[in-house]
Amino acid sequence: MEWQNRAACKDVNTELFFPVEGNLTDQQYWQASEICKECPVNVACLKMALDQGISNGLFCLPERVRKRFKNKKLDNLSKTVKETFKIMDIIDPSFNLKGKLIKKRCLRCNRYGKGFAADCENWGAKSHICVSCYIEIENNKHIDKLLEIEKKPSKSMPEFDDHGILLNKKCTKCWKRKDTKDFTKRPKGIGSRTSWCKVCLNKNLQDWHNKKNDST
Query: Does residue 161 share a domain with residue 86?
Result: no
> What is the model's pLDDT at position 22?
58
Q: Is position 144 within any domain?
A: no
pLDDT single digits (tens) 136-180: 887 777 666 655 655 555 677 888 877 778 888 888 888 889 998
Residues 23 and 127 in one domain: yes
Model confidence, pTM = 0.54
141 in any annotated domain: no
Judge if 35 and 93 occupy the same domain.
yes
178-187 tens-digit pLDDT = 998 999 988 8
145 domain-assigned: no
DSSP 11: T
Q: What angle in degrees, to the nearest 10, is found between the helix axes of 74-91 and 42-52?
A: 110
Element (H, E) at 104: strand 101-105
80-94: pLDDT as tens digits: 788 888 888 788 888
216 pLDDT exceeds 70?
no
Are 104 and 30 found together in one domain?
yes
Residues 21 and 60 placed together within one structural domain of the fold: yes
d(CA 123, CA 141): 26
pLDDT, tens digit, 9 for 90 and up, residues 24-78: 778 877 888 888 888 888 888 888 888 888 877 778 877 777 776 666 665 677 8
Q: Decide: 6 and 40 in contact? Cβ < 8 Å.
A: yes
Pair 168, 106 in one domain:
no
Same domain? For 12 and 100 the reply is yes
Q: Quick check: is 147 in a domain?
A: no
Res 190: pLDDT: 80
pLDDT tens per residue, range 113-144? 888 877 766 766 788 888 888 888 877 776 66
Q: What's the whole-number mean pLDDT along residues 88-101?
A: 85
Which domain, by its residues, includes 191? 153-215
Question: Above 70 in pLDDT, residue 12?
Answer: yes
Residues 105 and 167 in one domain: no
Contact in structure between 202 and 183 (CB atoms under 8 Å): no
